[in-house]
A = this chain, B = another copy of it.
Amino acid sequence: MHVVSEPFAPSIRTAVPGPATHGIKEELDTVIDARTVQMVIDYDQSIGNYITDVDGNTYLDVYTQIASIPVGYNNPTLIKAATSPEIVSALVNRPAVGNFPSHQWLALLREGLMRAAPPGCTQVFPAQSGSEANDLAFKAAFMGYRRQQRAGSPWTEYEQATAMKNQAPGSPDLAILSFRNSFHGRSFGSLSTTRSKPIHKVDIPAFKWPQAAFPQLKYPLEAHIEENAQEEEICLQEVRSIISSWHCPVAGIIVEPIQSEGGDNHASPAFFQKLQAITKTHGITLIVDEVQTGFGATGKFWAHEHWALPFPVDIVTFSKKAQTAGYFFSDEKLRPDKAYRQFNTWMGDAARIIICNAVIDEILNKKLVEKTAQVGAVLYNSLATLAAKYPHQIQSLRGKNKGTYIAFDTPDSSTLLKKMRELGINIGSCGVQTVRLRPMLIFQESHIAPLLAAFETVFSQLE
């Protein structure tokens, strides 16, 4: 039994989390690590922007499964896709899609997923998670880099023999450069580029890859143009310096348009334009990680569309709101020189791509990117007004003209989040002391009032 329309407001009936969550969490912990469970959810009772837990508490959800729910709980268009004959076949007849694709595969990609391809990107490679997408992008960058170096020469016997032993030159010493405070995932490749928190990295072997500082800008950006530009130039200089001095070639650079897990850190279009110029100069693949920023939340379909780059991005990775994962790419040379080099049994999941296509339908048909830009502007202004009243509680408000991708620093984010949840707002943090808003693309002006009311209640308690 599903609910059919959103409630008018949150409603909280028990302590948060409630006794039912506690009971299920304890039972879960007998078979799976359940220490991270915050609430157990009754998704059948969740609808649109509202999520309901097993204790009957209903929250306005602006955290959205770590920024992953695009168009609302129990969205009818997604339900239609999830009950289509195509998805049933994809679920029960899972192909090794690189070898034996279905007769629907072409349409799922060409008339489906490719509608989301960023400007200039003509190719896609499907995956199942953001970490996998980034790892695959790194492999494409490494193969592309060695292809340039090899300049048409065939693989040598020695390269093949050493690769089997994990030794150079077959397994070469090549690096991906990332930025301090970045998050790109937790697999061994992506984790070697993740730099946000020790909890992700301690005890895990890593590739000796470099990091450059990411700009630490002052907000509001328009009030600190000159000093922010200087800060960005210092970071770009470090990138140049690492490229020329690192112990091995830098084959790829990966960057988030807005550093998300690392604290919602922004940089200017000029920064990214210059970064692209550096990669062009050195034959380095530029990988833009849009796992969290992609699919509309910044008021553009892709956050990097805010930059007005002169050339298409080499590789754009995606996951989360896409409800599937993978990478788009613009340069045919990033398709490996031989078949079966970028390959695995499943190469994504057609069932998840069918859901993604329904998400894209919703975004395009309902103009959700444009609407997110509009509602985001109202939300930002509302928070700026609140910041004037509670300047200690809302610091460095950021995300102006970036849709609903809005964040601010606050002295005690964990207490704030706890109190917000007790008032029926499910909200997330990032970085050290940052509150990040990650509403869905169907978040409307009518949702701003309950959100702001809760903030005001909590701030007045905390002052």
Contacts and interface: CB of A to CB of B under 8 A. Distances in A.
Nearest to A190: B188
B31 A123 contact: yes
22 contacts: A24-B101, A24-B103, A28-B109, A33-B123, A36-B98, A39-B100, A40-B102, A65-B96, A66-B345, A73-B93, A74-B93, A83-B88, A143-B203, A155-B198, A159-B202, A172-B203, A186-B343, A187-B189, A199-B341, A202-B341, A205-B207, A207-B207
Contact of A186 (B147, B185, B208, B344): B344
Listed residue (A99, A114, A200) with the most chain B CB atoms within 10 angstroms of its CB: A99
A188 B135 contact: yes
A41 B320 CA distance: 29
B66 A96 contact: yes
Contacts of A28: 101, 105-106, 109
Nearest to A71: B92
B174 A205 contact: yes
B129 A206 contact: no
B160 A208 contact: no
Contacts of A187: 132, 135, 187-189
Interface size class of A (residues with CB under 8 A): 35 or more
Contacts of A285: none
Interface string A26-53: 0110111101111111111010000100
A33 B339 contact: yes
Interface in A342-358: 342-346, 349, 351-352, 355
Name the residue in A38, A164, A170 with the highest tally of chain B Cβ atoms < 10 Å from its Cβ: A164
